[in-house]
Amino acid sequence: NAGVTQTPKFRILKIGQSMTLQCAQDMNHNYMYWYRQDPGMGLKLIYYSVGAGITDKGEVPNGYNVSRSTTEDFPLRLELAAPSQTSVYFCASSYSPGNVDTEAFFGQGTRLTVV
Amino acid sequence: DQQVKQNSPSLSVQEGRISILNCDYTNSMFDYFLWYKKYPAEGPTFLISISSIKDKNEDGRFTVFLNKSAKHLSLHIVPSQPGDSAVYFCAASGTSGTYKYIFGTGTRLKVLA
């Protein structure tokens, strides 16, 4: 049982390049999330998904895209990387937060630098 | 608009004493609250939670208090240990309509030996 797995762990991108951050979970969670953590800014929600085929914007979606074709996978796509997207990205999953005593489980994070 | 706020970016406490971390929220639709702990280069890990139908939840050295009228919650760690040194995030969610976790900015706790 690996939990939430993110790849890669580190990446350096040049301005204008594209990349996909991978996230997979093996807990059969229906909800999945992408957050970014900037210094002193906490965790900001980028996108989330309530199940395969359903995604929605979070607090800071601009510059990103997501898809959810399976329950297990929730990739995050950066199309035209900008320095403002330098951050640490965390993927998380949970059962429906509508159920009490449900918490989100996080991956180890991807540290992205755009130069 | 910061819906979940942690106004103290850092806190230092002597080993064995009590650590109190505070969190405020603005959205009255939130009715489930969580605390996460994060070490450097790791993902956040769940610590303790509380539902809005309670005003206190305890788990070993960790207790979370909720004051709904003030839209305020706090995490108490007693006694504090050096291994508790980490960044603590408060998060909130709703059980009707707000199906996502919104996090605060975090408080860095340093427990001094």
How does DSSP assign B51-90, residue by residue?
Answer: ETT-SEEEETTEEEEEETTTTEEEEEESS--GGG-EEEEE
Q: State whether the Cα torsion B38-B42-B43-B46 is positive or negative.
A: negative
Percent of chain A with pLDDT over 90: 85
Both tokens of B29, joined, read 């639709």
Residue with token string 């979606």:
A61
Low-confidence winner among A4-8, A41-45, A64-68 (lowest mean pLDDT): A41-45
Q: For residue B29, name the pLDDT band (cuts at 50, 70, 90).
A: confident
> What integer pLDDT is reported at residue B98 of this predicted model?
58
Chain B neighbours among A 64-83 (CB < 8 Å)? none
Tell me which chain B residue has its CA closest to the CA of residue A5: B43
pLDDT at position A1 is: 67
Strands B4-5 and A110-114: unpaired
Angle at Cα A108 formed by Cα A106 and Cα A109, nearest 5°? 95
Q: What is the pLDDT of residues B53-103, one digit of tens each?
A: 999 999 999 999 999 999 999 999 999 999 999 999 999 988 766 578 899
